[in-house]
Structure formats: structure tokens, C-alpha cells
Structure 1
Amino acid sequence: MLKQILISIIALAGLVSAKFSFDDIKFNEYNFTQLVDHTQGSSDKRTFNQRYFVSTDYFDKDTGPVFLYICGEGTCKPPTDRGYPVMVAKVMSAMFVVLEHRFYGSSQPFEDWQTANLHYLNATLALADLANFIDYVQSSIKAQYGGNDRKVVTIGGSYPGALSAWFKAAYQDKAVAAWSSSGVIQPIRNFDLFDTDIYTATSRSGPLCPQVIQEITTYIDTAFRNHEKGKDDDYSYILRVFGIDQVKNAGDFMFFIADIFTIGVQYGGRKELCQILMSLEFTDVKNRVPVIAQYAKNQKLDFSQYDRVALQNVTYDIDKNMRQWTWQYCTEFGWFQVPADKNPMRSAYINADYWVPYCEEVFGIKIGDPNIKYYTDTYGGLDINAKNIYFVNSIEDPWQWAGMRTIHNKDTQKDLVATLIDCNDCGHCQDLKTPSDADPPALRLARDDILLKLKGWINPTTPKERLFLE
């Protein structure tokens, strides 16, 4: 009987992809006048233009809720590649609003990214931006359509997933619910579990996949260590293959190398990555390097995104985000990806002692350790003090270990939900992606449960049966 029910659920959920198209949805772009400094008692009245996008195509102008999709560490655009929240908004007759994060894209408080300016880049001010913006949206809706405040659902993935949850904790009355996809709500100084997860995930393809990663990493690591001893060996060859003139710090390059493999796993491409790597089993390790360099290029990874010299560039570029994001993890969250003690997948160059000097050289000031205690004390970490939050993580996502895999706060009045999706190639923010017929059953069931729970939080009288996007 259970098997039959599951088959029915999967079949109905499969209708999603066939009956939804972004061609039917129009997003309009606007700017909102936002305060630079929300600090209580501040006399600073400076403002900047914060970009946002709105779709009212399916909005019930009388009673419809507002879905606020939070953008994070990059240029913002409507989430056409993460379309499931838009599909849920359609079902719920919601206005869909997308807000760009301060200091990213075109939402710039200052003309450049000098370190002094970056002091206004932090999650606390970003949360205040959300609160101020929601007030603006509510007043705009009432001015145009009348009625009372609308119920707001915040949505975000990864760092914005943390913002979505933290906003519900910090401004509980401004949002009825939060959807936190791969939300990294627990800042961590030395994040060795991240490295462990790369080993565990790639091992799902068999022991050869992580072995090849380790062999390539060791080969490059050894070449750099020999270079430091005055031996060229393969150092010049490696730089030439990657199209790099010079490397000031070996750790920066090994950070880049580690991320090449991380990206493949993190974003649901583990099987493809491992297929490439395992095909190199009988290839000399030196000749594997061009394959990895091409893979990095295909993933749009470039050494300049990791190089401490390149990251000192303060010039504004709408498409750049790494100086700003480096500032945030250096000063606020940590998540320093260090090698695991057992089966390490990255070089010992990027150990616990690597990170603070890296951060301080990039920004030219003394930083010390990131302010992890503040964010843990303020928002509770995995014991978050909030209610009506749906946390989603995936089994192959290395960031899951900074998120809510299971509920730690057992207070049933909080109504917190945590789902861990277990399927092949289920990575970071998997639930947000636009559904397809190829999605595994575990992912489809998780999405269906998200829809059910959000409907219940928005309208507590909703019948408690499963709901499907038609």
C-alpha cells in the first residue's frame, strides 16, 4: 500500500515540470532607497540604491502573501535556475520579490570596496535591510490595493538561507515563515567536516574517485614545496597549464585546487566529476593536470578568485564578488575549509594557521578570528530561537554540516522542520532548483512537504493532506 502511495506521489509531483514555464512570468526591476547604516542611534543618514525585482503575475491583490527571495554573495537576478520557490508562489497566489544584497551587483553603498567601506558589509545590516524593505513593500501594497499587511515568507539558499532563518529569529513579527535551503546557520572556525564530506561524497562513486583527487593534490602540493626549496621540478609546468604567471602564496593556489573538486560535488555534479577523474586512473599524474585545468575553466573558476594579491583590488565591478565575500567569511563566519585529520582531500598548506594571515593581507588590517561567537549567541546557531522555519539540506552537500540536518530545539511550539534529502547528486540548494522529470523520489517528496508546510503556516486552516503543483 505504501509503495502504491509513493508511486502516486511521484507521478503527481512529476506534473510540475510539464505545467510551468518562466516564459509566463515577468519580473520588473526597481531600486529602493536603503540606509547605509541601520545602527540604533546612528546619525548617519546616507542612503544607497538597493536593487530588487518583482513579479505580480499570480498575485492575489486582495489577500495574497509576499514571497521574499533573498539574494546573497553575488549579482542578483530573478531565480530562473532556482524556480521551485516561484512555482510555489504561483500556487499560493503570492507576490514574488527578489532583493539584492548590499555590496553585490548594482546595490553598492560606495564607489569602491576599500576596507573602510566594507565595515558596512555584514549580516546584521543585511537583516536590517530586509526589515526596512519589507516595511516598504507592505506600505506599497496597502497604498495600491488597500487592506492589511500581507503575510511574508522569506526564502534563501546557502548564506541567504541563513539570512532567511536569522531574519525569522531577529524580526519574528515581520515574516510568518522562513524557507532555509542549505542555510549555513552555524558559523565555524575550522570547518574540517567540509573536507570530510568531499571524501564521503566522492566515495559514493567508489574508492578510486577520492584517490585520484588525493593523488593530484599531493602532486601539486609536492611541486610547490620543492619550488620553495629551490627545485623547479613541475612547478613551472603547473602554472603554465593553468595560465598563471606567478603565485605569491602556495596556500592560495592549493585553496583554488581544492575548490575545483569541491564545486563538482557541492552543486550536484559528483557523478560527472568522478567519471572524469576515474577515467584518468592509468594516466600519469602529471598529465592529469590539464584535464583538471579544463574542468576548472568549464566551471568558471579562476585563480584570481583566491589569490590574495588579486583580492586587494578595490575597484568596483558589477560581476565581481570575491573581495566582498572574503570579507564576510573572514570577519563574521569563518567556515575555513581545513584538511580533515583522516583521508584529507586538500593540501596541508591551507591548515588552521593559513586563514587569518590570508584575510589580514587581503584587507590590510588586523582582523583576528571571525566573530563567530556574536552570530552564535545572537541567533542560537543550531539551537535557533525562532519558529516556522523549514530547513532543507542534501546528503552530498559539504555545507550541510553548518546547517540544520536534524532539529536540535525540541520545543514543539517552535514548529521547526529539518529535511535531509538523500539521493545521488543531491547537492547545495537542491530543493530550490527548477524541477525536472529526472528528479529522484526523495527530492520530489521533500519539495512536496515544503509546499504543504508553507501553506499551513500561511493559512493554518489549510487541510493537512499532501498538495501537488498542478
Structure 2
Amino acid sequence: MSLPFPILLLLIFSTSSSFFITLAHCKIPRLGISPKMLTNEPDAPTQKLNDPNLKMFYFNQNLDHFTFTPKSYMTFQQRYAIDSKHWAGAKDNAPILAFLGEESSLDSDLSAIGFLRDNGPRLKALLVYIEHRYYGKTMPFGSAEEALKNASTLGYLNAAQALADYAAILLHVKEKYSTKHSPIIVIGGSYGGMLAAWFRLKYPHIALGALASSAPLLYFEDSRPKFGYYYIVTKVIKGTSERCYNMIRKSWKEIDRVAAKPNGLLILSKQFKTCAPLNGSFDIKDFLSTIYAEAVQYNRGPSYSVTNVCNAIDNNPPNRKKGLLDRIFAGAVALLGNQSCYDTNMFAHPTNNNKAWRWQTCSEIVMPVGYDKQDTMFPTTPFNMTSYIEGCKADYGVTPRPHWITTYFGIQDVKLILRKFGSNIIFSNGLADPYSVGGVLEDISDSVVAIKSNNGSHCQDIVMKRKGDPEWLVMQRDKEIKIIESWIATYQKDLRALNISI
């Protein structure tokens, strides 16, 4: 589980002119488990999921878990789903696999996430999927219009509240199924992967372990990586085709050159078949950078491939000279398909999910992603915290807290912190995922392990299996579930040793 900018999510957009100034100084791509460019309805399921074993429920959730003012006792309906088909039951203390939702609707997660369904039968587990507050149908204050109205209502949207929501629902599920000692394993991807790791650290009495897939929890101001998101985008495209990389690198100046001509923006609009007139060269450059980042972050499957984009850019058609911008446009078409026109603001539409995520990135999820000098495919535009803060203040009247995540979750010295009080966490990353630069990539201890793959993309290990998945991916998934099995076996052994029964 965000933008006019690429990718997991961070979807950052706004209708205010002040924030568009901010965007010129920082490029924060979205997180999110699944690509959005192949989905025309960002708030809708990516596919219809017709599973008779999956039951939907609503939990009467507290608005505020951390204060005792009258307003904090307000409640809202939080959506979750359960699949009990393969569960061995309370008598065997059979495990619970719980997916912690991210900045997406539950419908999208159910259609995209395969890890629980794939491994539920093997573990004889109860499967639980929980929707994140303020996303999908889980809206406080009675409606999305009210919940997303302004900072006074959005102020209850943050990671700490979300974790407390999950804790309340998981304890409710255990009570509902009369299973006091069934171990819970939490799973999450992208922002949800961060939530899964944080949940294990904050609620170890509820979760036995966590699988945190593609979780860039080190991508914050106090722990930012040496190299950034767009460094990996550049590296993957250059490794795919150096010719493609060089043409993309040259295209930015060519776009500015054409834009400077009389009627230059009209020429570019016709060149790229835009649905609306361009306001400036920034519009088309932002659109293209989003395409490249999206292609790299979700570089999986036959239709969603960096190779396809670069092949289209590299292609030499017979009997016709192809100009540089013709080639660049062909790369966009390779990813988006043939359309009558192309919406350069396709990620800036004010969907409910985008509005909620925009707030989160303007409050606590502040990742300093920019075009740094080592990101050689892009013009250098480093992240600018000052303009970022100014844009958020203009939109909401509140100042972002860029250090709050590291203060609350304590991740500045991740090796030391996790070695001291962390256990039973898997951090999985594909090194071809741009967000892997902010991931935990080294084993911390025997029970806090990093599983990484050289070619893996964003959250590839937990999404639905595909026919023809590479062997390394099959092996990675198998390794993850074997580790989880070992946690459960040790837990069951401890129950017997302590003579603890149902």
C-alpha cells in the first residue's frame, strides 16, 4: 500500500498551488502493494473476488485509543474478513495468519494478496484480513466526506492508531473463536510491512511473529539510506538497456527545448496524446518519471515489465526515422497500452485513498525521496524539506513531524535496537525494488532475519502466485513459511512445557 509520483505509495498530490511548488523540489513515489497504472479505478477492487469461504465483518472500533476525552469514545465500523476453511480449530491452538491492511481498500488487498491463501492449508490456519482506518469502507465520522474533510477529522489517522485498531480486532477474533493460545503471525507489505514489523515490536503479547515485505522502515530523516529510490530506478533501467537509459536521460532537455518553442506545449501535448493541455513541461516530465518508477517497482509478469518499456524505446521501425520523443512516447504506450489519449494527472485524481494517504505523508510518513546527483537518469532535484513542510502547512494548517516515526518506533540504530528487543521478524526485499534502499537487508539475529532476492520487485513474495514464477521466488516463499512454521512449533512446544492448555 499515492501521487503524481511513482509508487507502495507515497501518493502525494494536492489541488493547492503551494503544494505543486513543493512537488518541484521533492519526488516522493507512492508505496502500495500492487501497481496502479493497470487499474482504472484506484478505489475499487483490482478484480472480483468470489470466495464463498471469505466472510466479511464490521468491528465497532474506538476513534481514539490514546486519550480519554468524550470525543475519543466515538466509534466507527472497521471492516475485516475471515476465512476459516482450513483452520484446525482452538483445540489444537492452530495458528492465525493476519494481514494488516495498508493505504488501500480491503477489496484490493483480497484480490492481490496470495500469501495467506497459499499457506493457510499448510498451516491449518485461520485467515484474517483487516482494512486500515480511513481506507476503503472503514471511514470514521460516518462517511468519507466527513472523515477526509480537514485536519480536525484526519488527525485520528496515523500508524499508532492503526496498530491499536489491529490489536483490538485480533483480540476480538481470538475471543470470538474461543482460542486463547492460537499464535498470531501478522503479514504486511510496503507501508503495511512497516506496520507488521512495528506491530510485533509494540504488541509482542498479541503477535508471535511478523513478515514485513518490502518495508522501507529505514527511509526516514534520522535513518535515510545512502542511495535513494531513484538510484535503483536508474540502475535497473540501465541494466536492462544502456541505450534505453541514455535516451531517457537525454529526453528531459529535449522536452524543455520543445516546450520553449512558440506553441511548444501544444506540440508536446500532440506528441504524447495528452487528454488535457499541458500547463508546463513539468507535467509531461512528471508523467514519464512516474511511468519509469512504476515499471521498475512492479517489474513482474509479462505485461508489466521494464523490458517492454525499454524494447519500445529502443525499437527501430523499418523505413521510418523515429525521433527521440517518439521513442519515449512508445515506452509509455508499452506500459499503459494504446489509448485515445493519456491522462498526465492519472495519479493526482482526488480519490478517497489518495486523500487519506496525502494526509499521512503530510503528518508522520515523511520520506526524504528526491532526485539526487547519483540518480543519473534524472535531472538533479534533491528533496527539499523546507518546501515540503510549507506545502503541507498550506494544505492542512499543520506542520509535518519528520522525526516522529523514528522517535516513536526507535529505528535509528536498527541493528542494535532489534538485537536488544526484537525477535521473530522476517524482512523480505527484492533488491530491484527502489524502496529496498530503505529496507532491513541484513540478518540482525537468529530470529530477526532478512530474506532478499536480486531480481525481486515490490512485495513480490506476498502477492498472488503466477504460472511461471521464477524458481528463486518459489524458494523465497518456501523459506519464509518454513521460518514461520519453526516459530509456531517452538511456541507449541513452550505451551506444552509450561503445561498451558486452552
Aligned 1:328-407 pairs, distance under 5 A: 328-348=360-380, 351-352=383-384, 355-361=388-394, 363-367=395-399, 370-381=400-411, 382-383=414-415, 384=418, 385-407=421-443
- Residue 27 (structure 1) aligned with residue 84 (structure 2): no
- Residue type of the alignment partner of 2:63: V
Aligned with 1:33: secondary structure? strand
Partner of residue 119, structure 2: 88
Q: CA deviation at 1:438?
A: 2.0
Instruction: State the alpha-carbon separation in 2 of the partners of residues 431 and 343 from structure 1.
Output: 27
Could you tell me how far apart the structure 1 residues matched to 2:52 and 2:409 are?
36
Return closer, same or farther for 1:96/1:215 CA change in 2, 3 Å cut-off.
same
Work out the CA distance in 1 between the residues paired with 2:252 and 2:87. Answer: 51
Amino acid at match of 1:428: H
Indicate yes or no: 2:300 matched with 1:261: no
SS at structure 1 position matched to 2:476? helix
1:109 corresponds to 2:145? no
Displacement of 1:181 in angstroms is 0.6
Deviation at 1:364, TM superposition (A): 4.1
Q: Which residue of 2 aligns with 1:237?
A: 267
* 2:45 matched residue in structure 1: none
Q: Which moved more, 1:69-78 or 1:215-224?
A: 215-224
How many aligned residue pairs are there? 414
Aligned partners of 1:30 and 1:342: how far apart in 2?
A: 48
Give distance in 1, aligned partners of 2:62 and 2:338.
Answer: 36
Q: What's the TM-score, normalizing by structure 2?
A: 0.75
Structure 1: gaps (5+ residues): 1-21, 312-316, 464-470
Q: Quick check: 1:394–1:428 contact (8 Å CA) kept in 2?
A: yes
Tell me the distance in 2 between the aligned counterparts of 1:400 and 1:252.
27
Q: Which residue of 2 aligns with 1:284?
A: 323
Task: Answer whether contact 1:66 1:150 (CA < 8 A) is retained.
Answer: yes
Q: Where does 1:8-27 land on structure 2 (aligned, <5 Å)?
A: 26-27=53-54
Q: Deviations over 1:85-108 (max 9, x none)?
A: 321122101111111111111111
Distance 2:118 2:239 in 1: 32
Q: For 1:20-73, what per-residue CA distance to the aligned partner results, in whole angstroms no more than 9, with x for missing partners? A: xx9876211121111111124343211111111111111112322111111211
State the alpha-carbon separation in 1 of the partners of residues 189 and 490 from structure 2: 25
CA contact (8 A) 1:338 1:346 kept: no
Pick the aligned partner of 1:444 from 455, 474, 481: 474
User: What is the distance in 1 between the residues matched to 2:396 and 2:67?
Assistant: 28
- By how many angstroms is 1:173 displaced? 0.8
Aligned-pair CA distance for 1:366: 4.4
Q: Contact 2:98 / 2:130 at 8 angstroms: preserved in 1?
A: yes
Q: Aligned equivalents of 2:469 and 2:63: distance in 1?
A: 42
Aligned partners of 2:331 and 2:388: how far apart in 1? 25
Cα distance change on mapping 1:31 and 1:392 into 2, 3 Å: same
Q: Which moved more, 1:326-335 or 1:298-307?
A: 298-307
Which stretches in structure 2 are left out of the alignment for 5+ residues? 1-48, 300-304, 494-502
167, 170, 184: which one aligns with 1:131: 167
Q: Provide the aligned C-alpha RMSD in A.
A: 2.9
Q: Which amino acid aligns with 1:120?
A: Y
Q: What is the deviation of 1:219?
A: 2.9
Indicate if the aligned counterparts of 2:309 and 2:331 stay in contact, CA closer than 8 A: no
1:27-426 correspondence runs (5 A): 27-43=54-70, 44-62=72-90, 63-77=93-107, 79-110=110-141, 111=143, 112=145, 113-116=148-151, 117-142=153-178, 147-189=179-221, 193-223=228-258, 226=260, 231-232=261-262, 234-240=264-270, 241-247=273-279, 254-268=285-299, 269-279=305-315, 283-295=322-334, 297-298=336-337, 302-304=343-345, 306-307=347-348, 311=350, 320-348=352-380, 351-352=383-384, 355-361=388-394, 363-367=395-399, 370-381=400-411, 382-383=414-415, 384=418, 385-407=421-443, 409-410=444-445, 412=446, 415-423=447-455, 426=456
